[in-house]
Amino acid sequence: MDKKEGAACFRTTIGGQALIEGIMMRGPKKQAIVVRSPKGLVVKEEEIKLIKDRYPILGLPLIRGVVSFFASLISGMKALMFSAECMPEEEQQAQESKLDKWINEHFDAERSSKIIMSVSMVIGIALAVALFFVLPYFITGLLSGGIRSNIIKNLFDGVIRICIFLFYMWAVTRMKEIHRVFEYHGAEHKSIFCYEKGLELTVENVRPQPRQHPRCGTSFLFVVMIVSMLVFSVVSWKNRLVGMFIRLLLLPVVVAISYEINRWCGRHDNILSTVLAAPGKALQRLTVYEPDDGMIEVAIEALKLVIPEEKGSDEW
């Protein structure tokens, strides 16, 4: 198929993350953050140092999923904090919590930034686990007292988890600031699609590209929901606190399997990969919105900065 007809030339390993008025793009060698501030575009570039290059065992299947998840979490949190720092000072102060103020008052700038990031990450993970895993588990216990089948109980638990997740995603999109982040999310997807199709990276070429991308992190989250239902089905314990503790221990297994499924779907184009990717792409209707041209310009700038000099070296 001719490039003008929109055929995908290849799949790139380049991925991104929407930020506050900006986008982070991560390529095979470099990472770039581009934020639109009141003073213009703010750009930050840095070389990528992968831990698996130092410890090859961390790049093995299943292990790499957990490592990649936490690495992405850390780099994403750093990028998000950088984008927040690019905003006007009055906006930063308005969004600053009491805990942030206390930390900033008692530590120097560099150290306080690291502490705030660490605390935010721990709190974020704890809230996510509590909301999407602990809460559904105990709701299931209250509503499924007459159900003896462990498989049916886990299916019930999974349905509750997915309902809570969908409601949460819908609720956050009602917030104006989050909605704009999701619009930048759309710009990220569209620019990557344009690049994969071999088209010149211009606003005109990026604008008509699809919003939903099969290798989006939103799709990964949905896969986690489904895989958790299957993995947790092997856990059966009369004491619910012990059962909950065992499930928490199994979360890295869930993440590892989900990563491999998402990775496989990203590398293949057949009926099975299409079916597996479909729910995640449908879910992106809640997390990916149409961007304006200014957002597309930010995405293009970030993407250009991480495209490797050696053509094809970022092919998946």
- pLDDT one-digit tens code per residue, 136-160: 888 888 876 667 777 788 888 888 9
- Judged by average pLDDT, the poorest of 32-41, 60-69, 271-280 is 271-280
Give mean pLDDT, residues 225-250.
Answer: 82
Give mean pLDDT, residues 87-105.
Answer: 60
Domain membership flag for residue 312: no
Instruction: Return the closest-CA partner of residue 179 out of 295, 310, 305.
Output: 295
Domain tally for the chain?
1
Per-residue pLDDT at 6: 42
Tokens representing 259 are 């990563």
Tokens representing 304 are 């250009």
Strand arrangement of the beta sheet that strand 15-19 belongs to: 15-19, 22-26, 30-37, 40-47
With cut-offs at 50, 70 and 90, classify the pLDDT of residue 302: very high
CA 257-18-88 angle, 5° bins = 145
With cut-offs at 50, 70 and 90, classify the pLDDT of residue 297: very high
d(CA 257, CA 223): 9
Give mean pLDDT, residues 89-98.
Answer: 57
Which residue segment(s) compose the domain that 258 sits in?
Answer: 3-306
Domain membership flag for residue 179: yes
Mean pLDDT over the full length of the chain: 83
Give mean pLDDT, residues 10-35.
Answer: 92
3-state secondary structure at position 281: helix
Give mean pLDDT, residues 220-247.
Answer: 82
- Judged by average pLDDT, the poorest of 189-203, 231-245, 290-304 is 231-245
The one-character DSSP state at 97 is -
Per-residue pLDDT at 90: 56
Per-residue pLDDT at 45: 93
Give mean pLDDT, residues 263-275.
Answer: 80
- Host H or E run for residue 91: helix 89-95
Is residue 305 within 8 Å of 25, Cβ to Cβ?
yes
Per-residue pLDDT at 2: 40
The yes-or-no verdict on residue 173 having pLDDT over 80 is yes
Per-residue pLDDT at 61: 87
> Residue 125's Cα: distance from chain center in Å?
13
The yes-or-no verdict on residue 240 having pLDDT over 90 is no
d(CA 93, CA 100): 10
With cut-offs at 50, 70 and 90, classify the pLDDT of residue 276: confident
Domain membership flag for residue 108: yes
Instruction: Return the closest-CA partner of residue 86 out of 56, 42, 138, 151.
Output: 42
Instruction: Return the closest-CA partner of residue 15 out of 4, 28, 25, 3.
Output: 25
Backbone CA torsion sign across 217, 221, 224, 226: negative
